[in-house]
Amino acid sequence: MGYYNQGYQRRRKNQWLTPLLLGIIIGILIVSVVIPELVESNIIPQSQDEPGRGTNFENNNSPITNTSVSVDVSTQITDIVEKVTPAVVGVTNMQRQSDYWFEQGSVEAGTGSGVIYKVTDGTAYVVTNHHVIEGADSVEVVLYDDTHIEAEVIGSDLFSDLAVIRMDADDIGEPIEIGQSGNIKVGEPAIAIGNPLGLMFSSSVTQGVISGTERTIPQDFDLDGRPDWQAEVIQTDAAINPGNSGGALINIYGQLIGINSMKINEAAVEGLGFAIPIDYAIPVMNELEEKGVVERPFLGVELYSLDEIPHREWKDTLNLPEKVTGGVYIWSVQPLSPADEAGLKRLDVITELDGEPIENVIDLRKILYQEKNIGDNMAITYYRDGKKFETEAALTAQ
């Protein structure tokens, strides 16, 4: 057996030695004779590693070139932002500060954003939020180039959360273009511009989409835990932070479609920002510009929703029949007011206005503020001591 192995090894050695020598000889011939001939005949391209024999890329039409590439990063969004940014300003709320002995002058009480929407006769008009300028003794507008301009509050409105201020237009460029919010669609691009967290981040731009239209958000103005109003807003996931209030929400064409107003600020919530629709804001802005206030019809009662008191009080105190499922009860009536003239009294329960059911205070205010005008007559259905009555009030200015 050992012999077989030794003989096998010797036979293998004799078999591979001869082909190896032949391969080496043939390889030498190919390298030294055949390849140079093929190169000279241009069948094989010359090596560019060999000096003097490489491909001349400057003289030949080679697809590989050694030229620099210039990239234009300008897009529709960057062009729009560049155009719109000068119309978005910072608004500083200045309030006088004093101690027991003397007044210490004005100090900055807060900052927000605003939008230049009109320039005429040497005056520029800026729209912002009511809560941005609330309590201000004076306001200062800061332009995108850090120019500071003293401004004057013409008027503001709590329910719409809008305010209009004006200033000298010498350093002001073009106002923003006004768009429409009634035809916006969910999913279309939205861009927010403002000053989040103060002027150090002025002219910040965030991009998102329209997340929802005609949203209603409850508002608690007196912080008593009960909603006093429901704001109708546009929902967007473009980041809106403190300081963005009063800034611009624009569409892909650079048109103003909303005034940024609020966000849901909870740990489990992300991307819920809201803006006042421009279609709703424009009439309020015009009235503030002309009159300084928004005049609304006045009824002259202090009201509370029935759902704010225990159900047993509906029967024991208000004597309401079981078929009444909602309404508002009167806590007080202002003397000589439309409600007083109409014969309404304390603890009367209003259930309908002009035939429309009233479930709570918000329902009543919406009809009164959005459907009625000063000087209109309004039919009121109410219950007193378990009996149903109807009366009519002639609405006056608040």
For the beta carbon of residue 115, count every other beta carbon within 10 angstroms: 28
Which 8-state DSSP code applies to residue 47? P
Contact 231, 157 (CB under 8 A): no
Contact 280, 256 (CB under 8 A): no
Active site residues: 131, 161, 245
Locate 361 and state its tokens.
Answer: 């205070």
The C-alpha atoms of residue 156 and residue 150 are separated, in whole angstroms, by: 18
In 188-347, at which residue ranges do the beta strands (DSSP E only) sit? 189-194, 204-219, 229-236, 248-250, 255-263, 273-277, 297-298, 301-305, 328-333
Residue found under tokens 């024999």: 53
Contact 278, 259 (CB under 8 A): yes
Q: What is the CA radius of gyration of the chain?
A: 39
For the beta carbon of residue 270, count every other beta carbon within 10 angstroms: 10
The C-alpha atoms of residue 262 and residue 267 are separated, in whole angstroms, by: 16
The C-alpha atoms of residue 265 and residue 268 are separated, in whole angstroms, by: 9
Residue of 285, 290, 263 whose CA lies nearest to 274: 263
Contact 368, 343 (CB under 8 A): no
DSSP codes, 236-251: E-S---TT-TT-EEE-
Contact 163, 117 (CB under 8 A): no
Locate 158 and state its tokens.
Answer: 């709590």
Length of the chain: 398
